[in-house]
Amino acid sequence: MSLKKLEPLLTGKLTQLQQQGLCKGNEKVITGMKAAADGFGPRYFLEGCGDRAFLRMNSNSYLGLAMHPQVIKAEAEAAEKLGTGPGAVRFISGTYRPHIELEQKLAEFHGRESAMLFSSAYTTVTGVLPQFISADTLVVSDALNHNCIINAIRLSHPAGKEIYAHADMTALDKILEAYKGRVKRVCVVTDGIFSMRGDYAPLDRINACCKRHEGAYEEGIITLVDDSHGVGAFGRAGRGTEEYTEAKADILIATLGKAFGVNGGYVVSSSAAIAYLRETSPFYIYSNPITPAEAAAAGAALDIVTNDEGLQLLEKLRLFSARLRSGLEQLGFETLPGEHPIVPVLIRDSGKTSALAAHLLANNILVTGLNYPVVPQGEQEIRLQVCAEHTGKDLDYLLAKLADFKR
C-alpha cells in the first residue's frame, strides 16, 4: 500500500488550481510582534522578511482583544488551574465551569434563553443548520453566503434549495410564495455581515417577508443568521446585525475568533432549540470543545465588550472605518458605503488587484487581494479591515501608499 498511484493525480489537481488562479500559495508565517510606538499601532514580523515590520490590514481581530492583558490573564490563569485541553467531548467528561459560564454570558449578551459552544464558527454552522432541515424543508440562501453555509446545505437533505440574489427581498418573497403547499417547513439562512463586502443582511425586512408567508407552512419559517463578522464589531454595543437592524433571528450563530480575539464558535436560541442541538449535532457530540482556558479568555473578552471600554473601542472602530472610506473616496478609489470595519477597495481587474496587493506588501502592509474566480468577474477587490488597535498614523500611512499606486 502506498500513495504512489494517487500522488500524480493530486499533483495534477494542484496544477489545475494554479492555472485557474485558485491556489492560496505559501502561507505567511508571523514570527513576532512589535508593540505600538511613536503614534503607530502594532507591527508584525514575517518569516523570511528579516527585520521588516508589517502593518496588518487583513485581520479579523476587530477590537484588538487578542493582546488585551485582561484576556491573556484570564486564559493563563485558567490553563494553570484546569490544564491546556478539555480531555474529552463534553458529554463524557469535557465540560468545565468556564464553558458553562461563557454560555450563560453569551445567552445574556444576545438576549436569548440558551447558548451552546462549538470548536469554531464553521463547525457551528455545519453542525447546526442540517439539524433544522428535514426531507420536508425548503432551504433558502443568499447568493453571497459564506462557504460554511454552502457546505452545511450540502450536508443536508432538503426537499428543495433556492438561492436569492444578494439581499433581494423581492426574490425572497417570490420563492416563499412559489413553495406554498409544496413543503412543510422553510429555513431562510444568511450571513449577517458579508465577509467580502462588509455590507449587512436586511434582517428586519427578511423577518417581515417570512412573517407574511409563515401561515402557509405547516411547520413555519425559521431564520438562521451567521453573524461572525458582525458580533463584537457592528452595532452601537457590538450586538451585530441584529442590533443594527433592530430584528432577531430565530437561530443566531457567531464566532469567538474575530472581534472577541480568542477561538471557537457558538449558537444562541431558545432553550428547546439548544437542548435539541446538544442531543443531535454531531460536531458537538463527537468533537472536543474549545479549551477551558479559551472559554475563560472569551468570557473576559465579553466582559470588556459589555463595559465602557468596549463601547469606546466600538466607537473608535466606527470612526476609523469612516475615516478610511472617506480617504479612499478622496483618492478616487471605489468602495462601498457602510459602518462595518471591512472596507473593500473595488479594483474590478485581476491584474491591477494583484499589482496593488504586491505594491502594498512591498511597502510593509498586509492586505487580502480577491481575484476571479474567488469573486465574480468584475468584482475583484482588495479587502481592508480596520481594527481598534490601528492609529490615525497607520491609516495615513496606508492612504499615502495607496496614493503612490494611484499616481
Per the listing, cell 439539524 goes with: 131
Whether the Cβ atoms of residue 250 and residue 223 lie closer than 8 Å to each other: yes
What is the residue type of 65? L
Query: Given 99, 146, 229, 401, which residue is catalytic?
Result: 229
Element counts in the chain: helices (H) and strands (E): 14, 14
The three grid cell numbers given for residue 82, joined into one nine-digit string: 484546569
Q: Which of 240, 8, 263 is nearest to 112 (CA)?
A: 240
Note if 393 is an active site residue: no
C-alpha of 299 from chain center? 19
Residue 191: phi and psi, rounded to 5, are -65, 155
Q: Is 258 one of the annotated active-site residues of the chain?
A: yes
Residues 6+ apart with CB under 8 A from 100: none
The question of whether 321 is a catalytic residue gets the answer no
Question: Which among 114, 195, 269, 281 is annotated as catalytic?
Answer: 195
The residue length of the chain stands at 407
Query: In the block, which residue shows the cell 504512489?
Result: 4
Give the Cβ contact number of residue 209 at 10 Å.
Answer: 21
- Which entry of 99, 248, 258, 390 is annotated as an active-site residue? 258
The torsion angles phi and psi of 35, rounded to 5 degrees, stand at: -65, 155
Which 3 state secondary structure label does DSSP give 373?
Answer: coil
Interior/surface letters 337-373, b for 16+ CB within 10 angstroms, e for the rest: ebbbbbbbbbbeebeebbebbeebbebbbbbbbbbbe
CA–CA dist 177, 213 (Å, integer): 7
Give the containing element (helix H, strand E) for 254. strand 251-255
Cis peptide bond upstream of 130, omega within 30: no
Which residues carry out catalysis? 195, 229, 258
